[in-house]
Structure 1
Amino acid sequence: MPDETMIADRFEITDLFTRFALLLDERRWDDAGAVFAADVVVHSPRGGEMRGLDSLVDFMRKAEVEGELTQHTQFDLLVELDGDQAAVSANSVVYYFREGAPPHQIGGLRSSSAAVRTPLGWRISEHEVKPQWIRKD
């Protein structure tokens, strides 16, 4: 694979995970197909195993807490490319707050994911999130 393609893939995958965080914070569930593959598998301590985009979107809608907002930050993104597939891991800190107020809860997460190249670009095909710590004020 030419270096230019690998660099472009890494940028696109990094952007994919930024779009994922924004999707969660902005609750744009109808845009989930721009982040996840249709046959996505997600492993979550709150939702168990979800298979398929519809199942994941249904879970995200039901998990909303009235009046609670989030800010997801992701860092230490590690992308290991293998052709049209990639293994991706990251650390995240999620801030939970109400409009105009400081966070009442902060959590640290570790995630591991698989991403695949599709005709529409890179998409997350599998995602597992593992809480590392939580602080409630």
Structure 2
Amino acid sequence: MSTDTLTADRIEIADLFTRFARLLDEGRWEDLDTVFTDDVAVHSPRGGELRGIDKVLDFMRQAEVEGEHTQHTTTDLLVDVDGDQAAASANSIVYYYRDGQAPHFTGGLRQHFTAVRTPAGWKIREVRIMPAWTREN
């Protein structure tokens, strides 16, 4: 694999993390297929193990809290590309807040993704979300 291709893949996967975070913050559940494969597996403390994009979509809609917003910040992204698959990990801080108010809850997460190259670009096939810490403000 050429250095140019590897660099382009790493940038696209970094953008995938950002698109995922923005989708969560904006509550655009109908756009889950832009970041996840149809057979995605999501492992998280809130949802347990969810398999398939329809299960993830149902969970996201049911998990919404009226008037609560999130802001995800992602750091320390590490990407290892191997052909048409990549392992990626990052840390995230998630702020939970209501309009015009400081966050009432904050959590630090570690995320591990398996991403795959698809005809529509890189997508997440599996994600493991693990809390590192929480703080009620």
> TM-score by structure 2 length?
0.99
Q: Which amino acid aligns with 1:95?
A: Y
**What's 2:135 paired with?**
135
**Long gaps (5+) in structure 1:** none
Q: Whole-Å Cα distance in 2 between the matches of residues 47 and 107 of structure 1?
A: 16
Q: Whole-Å Cα distance in 2 between the matches of residues 34 and 9 of structure 1?
A: 16
Equivalent residues in 2 for 1:1-137, closer than 5 Å: 1-137=1-137
Report the number of matched residues.
Answer: 137
CA deviation vs aligned residue, 1:78-128 (integer Å, no higher than 9, x gap): 000000000010000000000000000110000111000001100000000
Q: Which amino acid aligns with 2:48?
A: G
Q: Whole-Å Cα distance in 1 between the matches of residues 136 and 114 of structure 2?
A: 31
CA deviation vs aligned residue, 1:35-91 (integer Å, no higher than 9, x gap): 001100010111111000010011111111000000000010100000000001000
Partner of 1:94, secondary structure, is: strand
Partner of 1:100, secondary structure, is: coil
Partner of 1:6, secondary structure, is: helix
CA deviation vs aligned residue, 1:16-36 (integer Å, no higher than 9, x gap): 010000000000011110000
Q: Whole-Å Cα distance in 2 between the matches of residues 31 and 46 of structure 1?
A: 20
Partner of 2:57, secondary structure, is: helix
Q: Whole-Å Cα distance in 1 between the matches of residues 28 and 48 of structure 2?
A: 22
**Long gaps (5+) in structure 2:** none
Give runs of ≥4 in structure 1 deviating > 4 Å.
none
Coordinate RMSD, CA, aligned: 0.5
Work out the percentage of aligned pairs sharing the same amino acid.
64
